[in-house]
Amino acid sequence: MHPPPATAAMDFSQNSLFGYMEDLQELTIIERPVRRSLKTPEEIERLTVDEDLSDIERAVYLLSAGQDIQGTSVIANLPYLMRQNPAETLRRVLPQVRVHEDEHLFIQRVWTSICLSRGGDSEEEHTYWPFLIIQEVLHVAGVDMQLTAAVSFLTILQEESVSIHAYAHSFLQVILLHLEHRDAGVSNAWLETLLSAIEVLPKETLRHEILNPLVSKAQLSQTVQSRLVSCKILGKLTNKFDVHTINREILPLVKSLSQDVEYEVRSCMCRQLENIAQGIGTELTKSMVLPDLIELSRDENSSVRLAAFETLVNLLDIFDTDDRSQTILPLVKSFCEKSFKADESILVSLSFHLGKLCHGLYGIFTPDQHLRFLEFYKKLCTLGLQQENGHNENQMSPQILEQEKKYISVRKNCAYNFPAMIVFVDPKNFHMELYSTFFCLCHDPEVPVRYTIAICFYEVSKLLNSGVYLIHKELLTLLQDESLEVLDALIDHLPEILELMSTGGESSAQENKLSALPDLIPALTAAEQRAAASLKWRTHEKLLHKYACLPHIISSDQIYYRFLQRMLTIMMTNNVLPVQKAASRTLCIFLRYNRKQEQRHEVIKKLIEQLGQGKSYWNRLRFLDTCEFIIEMFSKSFFCKYFFLPAIELTHDPVANVRMKLCHLLPKVKSTLKIPADKHLLQQLEMCVRKLLCQEKDKDVLAIVKRTVLELDRMEMSMDAFQKKFYEKDLLDQEKEREELLLLEMEQLEKEKQQNDGRPVSDKIVEKKRRDTKTSTNLSKSTPVSVPVPSSATPSSKEIKKSKLIRSQSFNNQAFHAKYGNIEKCTSKTPAAGYAAPVPGLAKSSVLSLADDSFRPRNASSLPTAFSNTSLPSTSRGTGSNSADSKTNGSKDTQPRKATLKSRKSNP
């Protein structure tokens, strides 16, 4: 390294030291304002309030002698003070007001005179004394205090803290006094308060306090602000008086303000004509309001013409067919023609109200006018796209940029009105008339346009019905959109859209499932990966929740190979807890729908080994979340067979958080047991809880364990036989087991049928058996325990196979085409809701198909060997002394089952 130059060495000469001193002095000067900003002892004393003062005493003191910010705080607290009873408090109030500024001297004099002159002790008198001070304070108050007072007065009105008469007596004059405040924001705030008060004030008060002074306030000699306020008040007063009073006192003022010399006043009055028309009725509207609207629609100012156009659109329902065809339609035609030629300012509003125009003028258009209006809409949908030539925004002038923003708003409004235009042209003509326009909107270069059309996509799909296949490609385009905002808008109704796509509107679901959407799975996986790679975890969470509908759309194998492993990966690697829980819930639904025993066992094994026995405590926490979902969605026997022991083994977990979470889950775990079949599992649960009580060293976990023990002791165990207390829960669980067993047999019988002949069952037989399934469901509700059929009455094995297969396919058809919203409803924790639903409703929810050998009824002691092969560690439902009980209890149910299996073997 080279030595530093001599000039760079520090110089401690006298001149250099003086330079350092000057720098220090500059720093001292900089610090001085900071020191001066600190409060002096005198200022601190002035800001100190006696703690013994009540709320009312403190409010009066701060309004009289406090600073502006303190007064603003008091006024913001007025709604709370008005809810109190200030009578006794004000009886003892004699504030020692210490005025610190000249502008507060008159307040002290007013307050002193009030205190000395009060003669009555009525509650109402004491209640409203502070508002005399508030009225005086508001004379010199700033903008913040004025805005706060307006909001507080409105809150007091809405909460009905005082009677209407008292409000009008104490507050109305203060509100009217500040309507014409020099600050526009303050004036508007007081005006909103007044308009809300008009709704509840009596007619006499409105006439004397508001309507009579309004005659002078609406004159040309008054300020523009005063006339604008008069317009809005007139629009509100119309609904409070009879037609005769309106015609005599209000309509002349309306006529005068509609012809005001200032365009702001004409525009404001024009927008109030809608309220006035609703108050005076159809006849007076035609004779008094419609001529003014027609005149205002031809005004020289564009904002007045725009207000007239929007008011006409909103009043379409009032006018009859003749008025619409002879008066409104020519005006609309004129607006459309002028919007491109001379007045582009109304394009945004015109495009926004196109849907209302289509609805209001439906049936009036001639074929030529209908075609012209449709062409006008198509032109608006591509407005500005033809002019894009790759210009850089930095090189564009401000006028061009403003015009581009306007064009984007027009196309966005057109996308918003697209469903209305489908109704306008008839869905049968969609492909010929509007498909190209829909394609352009879905591929628009601007995100707001694509976002809006994504929101409307579900409505478009419903309107097209059987023609929904026409927009399959557009669905894939929006799923693969580069903007996550577009994806977020689309997935709100993704389950319903995919169901319409898979069923083809009116076609059979099983025939068309995925046949016309070969690229759906890649689009869905790409959408999930884009959401996972972004920082918008809420979009990712929502998408994972919506993926729970996929079993209705695609096959079980496709879910297993393309989505199920991805859900497990998200649970183990994602860092966002809501996303992990959403993936866990969706994985459980996938598992519930899975149709292959081998795949189910593999998933269960991964859940236990990679999550329940994982090295990361975070994974073990997610395993407990998964157990909670399993308890909700699956039958009790399934949970006890595969997840009971792995769950309670976590009582020995080295991490306190895992043990703590398990303690919260233990009551639900215990609710899955039935006595005496699960007596050995109950003993293991009690043993684990005892070890926690004896060996737990973490004080937080120990406290939760003690509370959990008390809760477990209070729980009543359900028995194998039906109990009155648990009747609904037991019946729901029996329905789950019955349906799971039915789907298990369906899997086996479908394999046998594929080996024999791969021909599908006819639609007529499926529909017939579907009705049989509904009938059997109703019977199962009334008779919870099924009565076995004697073996002598058992039909042939071929008929049994055919009947069960068709019945299973019927159930499967109902289950896989349920609304996803019903799935969420039926997986709720309320057992009564599940019991009230019929079997198809249950199939739509938490009791959907998972064919497994663990789904046998608890009292069944035998099943075909093909159903019982498993390599997973499972929990025996009864061992030792319980085996004889289970055999005894299940003998009646198993005999017909054995007879059926014997007949099946004898007749291959």
How confident is the model at residue 849, as a pLDDT?
Answer: 38
How confident is the model at residue 390, as a pLDDT?
Answer: 52
User: Which residue type sits at 347?
Assistant: L
Phi/psi at 320 (5° precision): -85, 180
The token pair at 610 is: 């990679």
User: Which residue type sits at 11?
Assistant: D
Q: How far apart are CA 526 and CA 489, in angstroms?
A: 16
Mean pLDDT over 435-440 rounds to: 95
How confident is the model at residue 20, as a pLDDT?
Answer: 56
Q: Which residues contact 142 (CB under 8 A, 6 or more apart)?
A: 68
- Residue 207 sits at the vertex; the CA angle it makes with 204 and 211, to the nearest 5 degrees, is 165
How confident is the model at residue 317, as a pLDDT?
Answer: 86
In DSSP terms, 675 is beta-bridged to: 719
How confident is the model at residue 133, as a pLDDT?
Answer: 55
Half-sphere exposure of residue 872: CA atoms within 13 angstroms, side-chain side? 26
Phi/psi at 121 (5° precision): -120, 25
DSSP 298: T
How confident is the model at residue 343, as a pLDDT?
Answer: 64
Give the residue with greater pLDDT, 649 vs 786: 649
- Show the 3-state SS of 99-136: CCCHHHHHHHHHHHHHHHHCCCCCHHHHHCHHHHHHHH
How confident is the model at residue 214, as a pLDDT?
Answer: 86
Residue 501 · residue 515 · CB < 8 Å: no
The token pair at 640 is: 């006890």
DSSP 879: -
Q: How far apart are CA 543 and CA 532, in angstroms?
A: 10
Say how many C-beta atoms besides its own lie within 10 A of residue 830's C-beta. Answer: 11
Q: How far apart are CA 338 and CA 322, in angstroms?
A: 24
Q: How far apart are CA 841 and CA 823, in angstroms?
A: 8
Share of the chain above pLDDT 70, in %: 68
304-317 residue pLDDT tens: 989 999 999 999 88
Judged against a pLDDT cut of 80, whether residue 866 lies above it is answered with no
Which single residue is written with the structure tokens 């020099």? Answer: 182
CA distances from 498 to 442, 505, 512, 516, 820 (A): 17, 11, 12, 12, 11
Question: For 785, left (φ over 0), alpha (ψ -120 to 50), or beta?
Answer: beta
How confident is the model at residue 472, as a pLDDT?
Answer: 92
Judged against a pLDDT cut of 80, whether residue 479 lies above it is answered with yes
The token pair at 65 is: 């002698």
pTM: 0.72
How confident is the model at residue 179, as a pLDDT?
Answer: 86
Residue 820 · residue 546 · CB < 8 Å: yes
How confident is the model at residue 578, as a pLDDT?
Answer: 96
Phi/psi at 718 (5° precision): -85, 145
771-783 residue pLDDT tens: 554 444 443 444 3
Q: Which residues contact 705 (CB under 8 A, 6 or more apart)?
A: 663, 689, 692, 693, 696
Specify burial of residue 880 (Cβ count, 10 A radius: 0-12, 13-18, 19+).
Answer: exposed
Residue 563 · residue 547 · CB < 8 Å: yes
Give the residue with greater pLDDT, 162 vs 2: 162
Q: How far apart are CA 595 and CA 573, in angstroms?
A: 27
Instruction: For residue 183, give the H/E element and its range.
Output: none
Give the residue with greater pLDDT, 587 vs 829: 587
Q: Which residues contact 263 (CB under 8 A, 6 or more apart)?
A: 299, 300, 301, 303, 304
Mean pLDDT over 198-217 rounds to: 88
Give the residue with greater pLDDT, 790 vs 76: 76
Q: Is 849 helix (H, G, I), strand (E, B) or coil?
A: coil
Which single residue is written with the structure tokens 């269960």? Answer: 604
- Is the Cα dihedral 226, 232, 235, 238 positive or negative? negative
How confident is the model at residue 392, as a pLDDT?
Answer: 56
DSSP string, 325-378: IIIIHHHHHHHHHHHHHT-GGGHHHHHHTHHHHHHHTTTTS-HHHHHHHHHHHH
Which single residue is written with the structure tokens 């009578």? Answer: 87
Give the residue with greater pLDDT, 31 vs 451: 451
Phi/psi at 674 (5° precision): -130, 140
Q: What is the pLDDT of the chain when averaged over all its residues?
A: 75
Judged against a pLDDT cut of 60, whether residue 94 lies above it is answered with no
396-422 residue pLDDT tens: 778 888 888 999 999 999 999 999 999
- Residue 411 sits at the vertex; the CA angle it makes with 407 and 413, to the nearest 5 degrees, is 115
Position 273 confidence tier, pLDDT thresholds 50, 70, 90 = very high
The token pair at 352 is: 């926004």
Mean pLDDT over 119-124 rounds to: 44
Judged against a pLDDT cut of 80, whether residue 530 lies above it is answered with yes
552-598 residue pLDDT tens: 888 888 999 999 999 999 999 999 999 999 999 999 999 988 888 88
Position 381 confidence tier, pLDDT thresholds 50, 70, 90 = very high
Judged against a pLDDT cut of 50, whether residue 820 lies above it is answered with no
Residue 445 · residue 407 · CB < 8 Å: no
Mean pLDDT over 643-670 rounds to: 94
How confident is the model at residue 124, as a pLDDT?
Answer: 43
Residue 355 · residue 370 · CB < 8 Å: no
Mean pLDDT over 9-13 rounds to: 46
Position 387 confidence tier, pLDDT thresholds 50, 70, 90 = low
How confident is the model at residue 269, as a pLDDT?
Answer: 94
Specify burial of residue 76 (Cβ count, 10 A radius: 0-12, 13-18, 19+).
Answer: middle
User: How big, in percent rounded to 5, are the helix, strand and coil portions of the chain?
Assistant: 75, 0, 25
Give the residue with greater pLDDT, 740 vs 533: 533
How confident is the model at residue 100, as a pLDDT?
Answer: 30
738-770 residue pLDDT tens: 777 777 777 778 778 777 765 544 444 444 444
23-62 residue pLDDT tens: 555 555 454 444 455 677 877 777 777 787 777 777 777 7
How big is the chain by its Cα radius of gyration, in Å?
Answer: 38
CA dihedral 854, 855, 856, 857 (to 10 degrees): 120
- Show the 3-state SS of 751-775: HHHHHHCCCCCCHHHHHHHHHHHHH
How confident is the model at residue 515, as a pLDDT?
Answer: 52
How confident is the model at residue 54, as a pLDDT?
Answer: 74
Q: Which residues contact 737 (CB under 8 A, 6 or more apart)?
A: 635, 637, 855, 856, 857, 858
For residue 26, how far is the Cα from the chain centroid? 58
Judged against a pLDDT cut of 90, whether residue 533 lies above it is answered with yes
How confident is the model at residue 504, as a pLDDT?
Answer: 73
Position 722 confidence tier, pLDDT thresholds 50, 70, 90 = low
Q: Which of 771, 750, 762, 851 is nearest to 814 (CA)?
A: 771
How confident is the model at residue 62, as a pLDDT?
Answer: 78
